[in-house]
Structure 1
Amino acid sequence: MKTKLYVLYGGKSVEHEVSLKTAVTVLLSIDESRFEVYPVYITRDGLWCTPGRLAKEGLTVERLIARPSYRDTASSIGEILSGVMALPGPKVVMPLLHGSNGEDGTVQGLMELLNVPYVGNGVLASALALDKAMSKEILAQAGIRQTDYRVCRFDEWSSDGMAVVRDVEARIGYPCYVKPASLGSSIGISRCTNRGELRAGIQEAFAYDKKLVFEREVAGREIQVAVIGNERPLASLPGEFIHDRAFFDYESKYMDKRLTMSIPAELSAGLTERIRELAVRAYRAHGCEGLARVDFFLDGEGELFLNEINALPGFTNFSMYPVMWERTDGTSYAALIEQLIGHAVARHEDKQTIRYSR
């Protein structure tokens, strides 16, 4: 019997479009001789629905979008759970939901309640990795070096915004970055070189979150590492994007056709191994399982700073994560998906040995 694979995509998130691009690539790559695929679309309003079984031929983002039968979230989720995900036989869920309401542990919690295996990180690791402020606390406790940073909540800003600005200038300085704490794809992030840009960046970031992170800029290279696995995670060879922008923003990541990947990144053998070791340490410190991408800054003096850990990295066939694995050990995109499904099933089976009664 084929395993039923439920692919969740879209979502109530500003990274909705990124999720759709990821879903198209994944759906085109799944081995249909092994998996019976059921796409589940989550609208921008958080309603769950399905476009039905989709043929690979001519599959586009537009064909992934479906119209929900209900106008309230609870009823739409109930329809999918009782009508689609309740089908008999072995099953696994693959959440391809970038950002809030999907990458942050919310959907993962639902899958735990349903007691079904799902690809990627669990509730805690997902929540920690998406929340940059909490992630930095974890990294600090693990003794992993980071750039100088400061966290600000909306109530602090609304009470005395000028005090926040002066404190950032004193502790962080310029250039600095202001970021929504819980978001990805560089959305809502501003690079600030003076007070006016800082105030504007704060206003922009608070449109996406009620908690912000300020960071000192590290001038140099951005190095990325792909990590996969559960109890014994493995790190890929490091890679980097070659670009000439001061700030690698959303448009740079997804629309700049001049971007080129350098995999493996041109680093000494010793530095390569140190980066891979630190990536695994950060992965374990967050309690990650399944996959994550760990990003570093390497300054002009050779000093290394961990930037962030991404629990659901970009996953199209042109994204850094799958390409790093292909160039590390020859793992194809389709084989990588099957590996991740295998890790999901293994973790789920391990959890079935836990006792819930005395």
Structure 2
Amino acid sequence: MKVVVISGGASPEHEVSLKSGAGIADAAASKGHTVTPLVIERDGSWAAGQQEAIRTLLDCDVAIPALHGEGGEDGVLQGFLETLKVPYVGSGVAASAVGMDKQLTKAILTAHGIPVTPGIVLRGADLTDAESAIQQLKAAGIGFPVFVKPNSGGSSIGVTRATDLPSLAEALSTAAALDTHVLVEQEIVGREIDLSVLEFPDGRVEVGPALEIHADPSQPFFNATAKYDSTATEFVVPAPMDADLANRLRSTAIEVFGTLGCAGLARLDFFVPADGPPLVNEINTFPGFTPASQFPRMWAAAGLSYADVVETLIETAVARNTKVRA
């Protein structure tokens, strides 16, 4: 098939997306597909020019929007592809948009009885008034330490751990430079567990082996440095756990995937406290997809190679498009 891999984008995750796109393109080519890369520059423009990009997309069998963050993972690009009537990998407009908005995701999951990490969203004047923020946190039953992050960000970019008023003020400023809405969440002491959800061409939705994150101990938490630049961060897959916990995480991951209307793939990030239920921290509707990223690591542990995962995504997107047209 003619496969177009789109990467780059205007979000702070531009470089990560380029690496994801390169890996996916190589994998698709290894499966015999004719692959054309399309890059979106940091300013949001098409490197090949808009008209050439449209011509390339209209001539393909399936597009893979391998973008992370704003403009690529939030439904904007998906809407563009829908307008062109180009089949594409992954979730549609609505699920992508909801998944990108962390607080909206939490609100929907909470309404469906799915436990999530407690947090509040701050905007406007509250982003420069840390004392007001503390009062809102108290009203929500949230105390220090907290994590402050852009509400629609990813890759831990702009995320800070705050332990008092001065560090909260600095953290709000850092996150507000990247997003007009800032999420402040209660720190959860417990295990960090990721699950990967993959849809197959016949409509089956399966969950790969769980992955546990042991972040670089020299870093304050699993930040961007620990994710991408550290050799001391350890990913344990399959993560050791009893059958009850494994089943609960798996069923929750599938429930979240269905509740949000996702398609193709997603990575669910959980906190598992020592007491209490697992908490959904966030969902990534197109997670990092370099050969070293968590999503392909989990499926490799299930015996599915990186190239096989990419091929599954392509075949699923084509099958779903065929059903829609029928």
**Coarse TM-score class (shorter-chain normalised):** over 0.9
Alignment partner of 1:339 is 2:312? yes
Q: Distance in 2 between matches of 1:26 and 1:14?
A: 20
Contact kept in structure 2, 1:223 and 1:238, CA below 8 Å: yes
In structure 1, what is the equivalent of residue 297 of structure 2? 323
Q: Distance in 1 between matches of 2:187 and 2:101?
A: 19
**Percent identity over the alignment?**
39
1:167 CA displacement:
1.9
In structure 2, what is the equivalent of residue 15 of structure 1? 13
| Structure 1 vs Structure 2 CA RMSD | 1.6
Q: Distance in 2 between matches of 1:344 and 1:334?
A: 15
Aligned residue identity for 2:185: E
Matches within 5 A, 1:147-162: 147-157=117-127, 162=131
**Which structure 2 residue ranges, 5 or more long, are not aligned?**
none
Q: String of CA shifts for 1:60-105, please: whole Å, max 9, x gaps.
A: xxxxxxxxxxxxxxxx3223213x2343xx5110111111010100
TM-score by length of 1: 0.86
In structure 1, what is the equivalent of residue 85 of structure 2? 115
Aligned residue identity for 2:82: E
How many residues align structurally?
321
Alignment partner of 1:92 is 2:66? no
In structure 1, what is the equivalent of residue 183 of structure 2? 213
1:301 CA displacement:
2.7
Contact kept in structure 2, 1:5 and 1:91, CA below 8 Å: yes
In structure 2, what is the equivalent of residue 166 of structure 1? 135
Q: Distance in 2 between matches of 1:172 and 1:333?
A: 40
Alignment partner of 1:139 is 2:105? no
Residue 306 of structure 1 aligns to a residue whose secondary structure is strand
Higher relative contact order (CA 8 A, sep 6+): 2
Q: Distance in 1 between matches of 2:131 and 2:146?
A: 17
Contact kept in structure 2, 1:237 and 1:276, CA below 8 Å: no
Contact kept in structure 2, 1:165 and 1:199, CA below 8 Å: no
In structure 1, what is the equivalent of residue 207 of structure 2? 235
In structure 2, what is the equivalent of residue 183 of structure 1? 153
In structure 2, what is the equivalent of residue 274 of structure 1? 248
Contact kept in structure 1, 2:145 and 2:187, CA below 8 Å: yes
Q: Distance in 1 between matches of 2:255 and 2:92?
A: 17
Alignment partner of 1:291 is 2:273? no
Computing the radius of gyration over CA atoms, which structure comes out larger, 1 or 2? Answer: 1
1:133 CA displacement:
1.1
Q: Distance in 1 between matches of 2:290 and 2:228?
A: 11
Q: String of CA shifts for 1:236-258, please: whole Å, max 9, x gaps.
A: 12111223344110111000112
Match of 2:41 among 40, 43, 59: 43
Residue 29 of structure 2 aligns to a residue whose secondary structure is coil
Aligned residue identity for 1:343: T
1:118 CA displacement:
0.4
TM-score by length of 2: 0.94
1:161 CA displacement:
5.2
Contact kept in structure 1, 2:131 and 2:165, CA below 8 Å: no
Q: String of CA shifts for 1:23-82, please: whole Å, max 9, x gaps.
A: 2222222235631111111110111124xxxxxxxxxxxxxxxxxxxxxxxxx3223213
Contact kept in structure 2, 1:8 and 1:97, CA below 8 Å: yes
Q: String of CA shifts for 1:178-219, please: whole Å, max 9, x gaps.
A: 111101001111111101111111111111111111111101
1:225 CA displacement:
0.3
Contact kept in structure 1, 2:126 and 2:132, CA below 8 Å: no
Contact kept in structure 2, 1:172 and 1:214, CA below 8 Å: no
1:165 CA displacement:
2.8
Q: Distance in 2 between matches of 1:19 and 1:204?
A: 22
**Which structure 1 residue ranges, 5 or more long, are not aligned?**
51-75, 354-358
Aligned residue identity for 1:215: E
